[in-house]
Amino acid sequence: MIGESNQQQTILSRQPMEGSNNSDALSASTVVVPKTKDLEPVQSSVSLQLIDDTKHFNEDLLSYIQNYSDANDNRGLNYHIVSVFGSQSTGKSTLLNRLFGTKFDVMDEHNRQQTTKGIWFSHANYISSDMEPSGRHPNSKHIFVLDVEGVDGHEKADDKDFERKSALFALASTEILIVNIWEHQVGLYQGANMELLKTVMEVNLSLFHGNKQKCLLLFVVRDFTGVTPLDNLTQSLRSDLDRIWLELNKPDDCKDEKLSSYFDLGFFSVAHKHFQPENFETDIRKLGDEFFGDNRLFKPDYHRGIPIDAWAIYSCQIWEQIELNKDLDLPTQQILVARFRCDEISSQAYESFQNLFNGIGFSSIKETNSVVENMNELRNTVLDEYESQASRYQVSVYEERKKTLLEKVDLKLNKVASDKLEQLSKRLLAQFGESVINTKRSSKSRNKRFGDILNDIVDEDSKKFEEEAGSYCISENFNFEKHISGFHEALNEASELLKLKEKDMLVSRSTKRFQSKLKEILIELLSDPKENTWDQALEQFHLFQSAFFDRYKLDDGKGYDLRLGLSEQANEATVTEIQRAFWTKFRDIIHDFMSEDTAARILRNKFEDEFKYDGDGIPNMWRNVTEIDQQFSKARANTISLLPILSVAKLSVSGEEIIPDIDISHDNDTEEELFLGETDNLEPSDKSHFFGHLLTTSQQNKVLHKLKKEIDAIYIDAKRSVIANRTSIPWWMYALVVTLGWNEFMAVLRNPMLVIMIVVGTSILFIAYHMQMLGPMASVGRVTLLQARTVAKQKLRDILFDEELVSVKEANEGSLFDEKKKDL
Ligand SMILES: Nc1nc2c(ncn2[C@@H]2O[C@H](COP(=O)(O)OP(=O)(O)OP(=O)(O)O)[C@@H](O)[C@H]2O)c(=O)[nH]1
């Protein structure tokens, strides 16, 4: 079966051929991969029966090829395939063995039986000048040789099937096809050689008419005697080939094509091995020089472009297709092989990428540069791994699979970048509010508008995010536009929230300040109502309002900018909101302050002021009742005239009610409804009219009623005091005292001690009067007198009791005494 030694036979026969029995199940798109698992390397120096006589493909091919690892250099194309084709027993194996140092079986001289069965495969060794194999020529590529079973063998005379199939296989895989013919066969058109040539051409057309894959047909004329010069033989062979080419039924798309479009032709003669052994050796050496050295015979056009490590798959697949009698679409086969290998390489590369990826632990890497560096490194590693092996395969498949692999890798890396961006987004958004507040508080930004501060930080954060997103874009598969727009959206949302918060703060702060200022002044004004009280109140309101808004006035004076960075519309709405809040506070203050009691108290005070004091604020001293009556009437009329001022906020000049210049109705409907209980059907603008309505008519009547009572009491008090003063000491009483007490008066004057006492007493009273101590002294005196009276009464009672007791004791017995005592 194999090689020349028994040992070699043993080695190779360990892989039975029936393993390839699955060919029936194959389809055109299936790639059959020779098994490589658990195979021991096949010894390289031996030949391998690639296809046996039962037409099974030997799966040991891959492990055989793997012995020549450097054939995988140069993108796996560091090799050539040569095959031989020719009639049976024409010295093909002998030629190959001599040319390439192979050890194909050669027919025994004495038993001329067919020796080569099926197709054999062997690695060629460089033939040194002494015609001994000595390894590979240093400048040459690896050459693998296919020894194909001879055609037209008498054992298979009726079976042309294998002949055609083997020609098909040899041509599909080889670069140079050695056509081995005897010299005496040349020119015999009807001879076996012409059949052979026809077969080769037909097969070639069926294989390559689509893509014009060329190969070299190297005619080796054996047993060349030199009687007919080689040129003549060449001429004869060429004309035979041309004739066959013309007669061939060519496919439509290559009808006009020439023979040279598909074949390069080469001719070489070799002398008789036995009769001219020296010439034979010389010819063989010359032919060998054509193959080795700089590989002159091999042209790039001839190479199938299948990397050597895929050649086993490719050739197996080719054979399976041939066996199934399917149309042999070589480009498709090449693509299938390329797909299979590129997928395999891609999977391996992705697997090692995943291992590296898991080892890195991106989640623990914080610095963007480091993340990007690792991402790039991973990407390049996987790309290098894939490219180094897959770039040898069909370019479109290689590119396609590379794209797919990169998409997978980038998807994974994209996730890393997305997570990092997500984290950055969260971090920046979390810090956003704080950054704005800190910047706002910093001395640098003291005069900066809030809106500008906000915009600066938004810009800064956006730039930071975009830069980081940009640095993660390590290939066109990375696109973070969505992340960027999402971040912008979130940032704008946060920014709008801050604006809203700042706006609310401004509204509440300004309203609070406004309220405290206005309240003080309004209460002061209302506590001392005058005809122009509401004019002053409104004036103060406008003053405070202007004081607030003036600082936000636009340069053209046509509006306000609250510096919150709000849109024009929102800014205007906020201005309106503040104005409404001011008006609402105005309303709340006056409504909260004014009540029936408050109004009654204010009016009572006003009445008292006017009734009890003169224009200079000095208390009135009534000389008679008439004066009191006059003053009372005047004060009462003036006081009552103030009630409408306290009841409705009206301007003095125009008499118009104060109405807010902005609609505030929705702020406090309830209060207004409570006020009149009749606003349900009113329009908001109508409700504004109730802004200054502080007391209802019934409330006013109650106030008047209460006031009347109180001022009547004051009036009576005043009158009583005048009458009391006047009735206590009548004038004739003074005259009577002087008349009756004249002597006593004189007696006192004449007594120096009494005079001194009177002087001292008068001085004390005078000082006490000036120090306003008369009241307290009188009180003390009154209390003393009261106490003295009480003591005196008690003393008197005791005395009387004692006297009675004594008399009863003396008059009656003990029991009577006790009864008396009880009675007492
Ligand atoms: N006349 C002649 N005989 C040769 C030459 N070279 C080899 N032979 C003899 O031809 C016979 C067949 O040789 P092989 O090399 O086995 O021929 P083959 O074409 O490989 O035979 P199959 O593989 O059986 O088709 C052998 O006996 C050789 O000694 C040659 O150059 N001239």
Prediction ipTM score: 0.97
Tell me which of 317 and 181 has the higher pLDDT: 181
Mean pLDDT along residues 657-661: 87
Whether the per-residue pLDDT at 485 is higher than 90: the answer is yes
pLDDT at 18: 33
Residue spans of beta strands (DSSP E) within 560-643: none
Cα separation, 705 vs 689, in Å, equals 27
Residue % of the chain over a pLDDT of 90: 23
Cα separation, 100 vs 146, in Å, equals 11
Cα separation, 60 vs 429, in Å, equals 65
The protein residue with its alpha carbon nearest to ligand 1, atom 7, reads 91
Find the range with the poorest average confidence among 117-126, 231-240, 720-729, 805-814.
Answer: 805-814
H or E element that contains 289:
helix 277-291
pLDDT at 812: 54
The protein residue with its alpha carbon nearest to ligand 1, atom 14, reads 91
Cα separation, 575 vs 572, in Å, equals 5
The alpha carbon of residue 701 and the mean position of all alpha carbons in its chain are separated, in whole angstroms, by 70
Task: Report whether 253 contacts 205 (CB < 8 A).
Answer: no
First CA to last CA distance, the chain: 166
pLDDT at 234: 92
DSSP per position, 431-461: HHHHHHHHHHHSGGGTTS-HHHHHHHHHHHH
**pLDDT digits over 610-620, tens only?**
888 887 878 88
State the distance from the centre of ligand 1 to the C-alpha of 110, rounded, in angstroms.
12
Whether the per-residue pLDDT at 659 is higher than 80: the answer is yes
Task: Report whether 56 contacts 118 (CB < 8 A).
Answer: no
β-strand partners of 352: none
**pLDDT digits over 502-518, tens only?**
889 888 988 999 999 99
Question: What letter represents residue 365's amino acid?
Answer: I
Tell me which of 676 and 803 has the higher pLDDT: 803
Q: List the binding residues.
A: 86-93
Query: Hey, which of 47, 51, 89, 183 would you mutate to test ligand 1's pocket, going by the most ligand atoms within 8 Å of its Cβ?
Result: 89
Cβ neighbours of 590 (radius 10 Å): 24
Mean pLDDT along residues 45-60: 83
pLDDT at 193: 64
pLDDT at 110: 56
Mean pLDDT along residues 544-554: 87
The alpha carbon of residue 278 and the mean position of all alpha carbons in its chain are separated, in whole angstroms, by 84
Whether the per-residue pLDDT at 48 is higher than 80: the answer is yes
Task: Ligand 1, residue 150: give the atom nearest the CA.
Answer: 25
Residues with CB under 6 A from ligand 1: 88-94, 106-107, 109, 114-116, 150, 222-223, 272-274
Mean pLDDT along residues 400-424: 92
Q: What residues contact residue 213 under an 8 Å CB cut-off, 6+ apart?
A: 207, 262, 301, 304, 330
pLDDT at 663: 81
Cα separation, 197 vs 284, in Å, equals 23
Q: What residues contact residue 696 under an 8 Å CB cut-off, 6+ apart?
A: 675, 676
**pLDDT digits over 598-608, tens only?**
999 999 999 98
Report residue 670 as tokens: 């309830």
Nearest to 714 by CA among 594, 602, 626, 631: 631
Whether the per-residue pLDDT at 13 is higher than 60: the answer is no
β-strand partners of 179: 85, 219
Confidence of residue 243 (pLDDT cuts 50, 70, 90): confident
Cα separation, 145 vs 152, in Å, equals 21
State the distance from the centre of ligand 1 to the C-alpha of 85, rounded, in angstroms.
13
Task: Ligand 1, residue 180: give the atom nearest the CA.
Answer: 19
pLDDT at 5: 31
Find the range with the poorest average confidence among 193-202, 219-228, 663-672, 775-784.
Answer: 663-672
Mean pLDDT along residues 139-157: 72
DSSP per position, 121-186: EEE---B-TTS-B-S--TTSPEEEEEEEPPBT-GGGTT--HHHHHHHHHHHHH-SEEEEEEEGGGT
Burial (Cβ within 10 Å: 0-12, 13-18, ≥19) of residue 468: buried
Cα separation, 77 vs 89, in Å, equals 33
Cβ neighbours of 702 (radius 10 Å): 16
Nearest to 259 by CA among 322, 208, 331: 208
Task: Report whether 157 contacts 63 (CB < 8 A).
Answer: no
Cα separation, 558 vs 580, in Å, equals 19
Look at the block and give the residue holding tokens 């390489």.
345
DSSP per position, 717-765: HHHHHHHHHHHHS-HHHHHHHHHHTHHHHHHHHH-HHHHHHHHHHHHHH
Which range of 78-82, 137-141, 186-190 scores highest in mean pLDDT? It is 78-82
Q: What residues contact residue 74 under an 8 Å CB cut-off, 6+ apart?
A: 141
State the distance from the centre of ligand 1 to the C-alpha of 642, rounded, in angstroms.
147
pLDDT at 670: 47
Whether the per-residue pLDDT at 117 is higher than 80: the answer is no
State the distance from the centre of ligand 1 to the C-alpha of 88, rounded, in angstroms.
8
Nearest to 508 by CA among 412, 582, 614: 582
Task: Ligand 1, residue 96: give the atom nearest the CA.
Answer: 15
Which range of 74-88, 109-123, 188-202, 717-731 scores highest in mean pLDDT? It is 74-88
pLDDT at 139: 59
Residue % of the chain over a pLDDT of 70: 80
Task: Report whether 320 contacts 83 (CB < 8 A).
Answer: no
What are the distances in angstroms from CA 664 to CA 113, 626, 676? 121, 52, 17
The protein residue with its alpha carbon nearest to ligand 1, atom 6, reads 91
Nearest to 313 by CA among 519, 32, 106: 32
Mean pLDDT along residues 459-479: 90
The protein residue with its alpha carbon nearest to ligand 1, atom 23, reads 116
Report residue 443 as tokens: 């001395």
**Buried-exposed string 138-148: b where 16+ CB fall within 10 A, e elsewhere:** eebbbbbbbbb
Look at the block and give the residue holding tokens 């040539």.
197
Whether the per-residue pLDDT at 643 is higher than 50: the answer is yes
Report residue 714 as tokens: 């004051």
Q: Any idea what the Cα angle at residue 469 is, between residues 468 and 472, rounded to 5°?
A: 90
Confidence of residue 672 (pLDDT cuts 50, 70, 90): very low
Average predicted confidence (pLDDT) for the chain: 79
151 φ/ψ angles, rounded to the nearest 5 degrees: -90, 165
Nearest to 577 by CA among 496, 498, 511, 670: 511
Cα separation, 599 vs 751, in Å, equals 63
Task: Report whether 27 contacts 325 (CB < 8 A).
Answer: no
Taking the CA atoms of residue 560, residue 565, residue 568 and residue 569 in that order, the dihedral angle to the nearest 10 degrees is -110
The DSSP letter of residue 87 is B
Mean pLDDT along residues 225-249: 87
Whether the per-residue pLDDT at 497 is higher than 80: the answer is yes
Tell me which of 328 and 657 has the higher pLDDT: 657
Task: Report whether 620 contacts 612 (CB < 8 A).
Answer: yes
Look at the block and give the residue holding tokens 């020719």.
86
Nearest to 81 by CA among 196, 215, 262, 219: 215
Number of separate helices (H) and strands (E) present in the chain: 26, 7
Query: Hey, which of 1, 83, 88, 94 would you mutate to test ligand 1's pocket, going by the most ligand atoms within 8 Å of its Cβ?
Result: 94
pLDDT at 677: 45
- CA atoms lying within 13 Å on the CB side of residue 364: 5
pLDDT at 746: 83
Q: What residues contact residue 276 under an 8 Å CB cut-off, 6+ apart?
A: none
Query: Hey, which of 97, 107, 108, 182 would you mutate to test ligand 1's pocket, going by the most ligand atoms within 8 Å of its Cβ?
Result: 107
Question: What letter represents residue 602's amino acid?
Answer: I
Whether the per-residue pLDDT at 74 is higher than 70: the answer is no
Q: What residues contact residue 165 under an 8 Å CB cut-off, 6+ apart?
A: 55, 322, 323
pLDDT at 7: 30
State the distance from the centre of ligand 1 to the C-alpha of 345, rounded, in angstroms.
44
Whether the per-residue pLDDT at 676 is higher than 60: the answer is no
State the distance from the centre of ligand 1 to the C-alpha of 90, rounded, in angstroms.
5
Q: Which strands, in side-by-side order, build the sheet including 119-123?
A: 48-51, 119-123, 142-148, 79-86, 176-182, 215-222, 263-269
State the distance from the centre of ligand 1 to the C-alpha of 107, rounded, in angstroms.
6
Cβ neighbours of 56 (radius 10 Å): 20
